[in-house]
Amino acid sequence: MPKLRPSAADLKNRAVVANIKYGMAMADIDPTGLALAMRTSLKTVYSRFKHPEEFRLRELQAVSEKLHIPLEQLITGKSA
């Protein structure tokens, strides 16, 4: 059976994770530092990377502040 094309929601979720990981690389922040900023455990950070639809607003705001990336750009990938 052929593979199905990824859904639009799946592509958006992948884009959010990619933007966060790109920001982490540019700011030289490891997942532990991100977990501290989000006020969650390291396990939760990896879980959010695996299932980005489960991100909470407060967590995304903390990531945005830590990486110095506007929240809109973090979610949509477009420059503000």
Per-residue b or e along 26-52, where b marks 16 or more CB atoms closer than 10 Å to that residue's CB: eeebeeeebbebbebeeeebeebeeeb
What are the residue boundaries of the structural domains of the chain, listed by start? 8-76
Distance CA 8, CA 24 (A): 24
The confidence score (pLDDT) of residue 80 equals 56
Fold of 8-76: 434 Repressor (Amino-terminal Domain) (1.10.260)
Of 56, 69, 54, 59, residue with least CA distance to 19: 69
Rounded to the nearest 10 degrees, what angle do helices 42-50 and 31-38 cross at? 100
> Over the stretch 23-79, which tens digit does the pLDDT of each residue have?
999 999 999 999 999 999 999 999 999 999 999 999 999 999 999 999 999 998 776
Question: Phi-psi category of 56—alpha, beta or left, where left has phi over 0 and alpha has psi -120 to 50?
Answer: beta
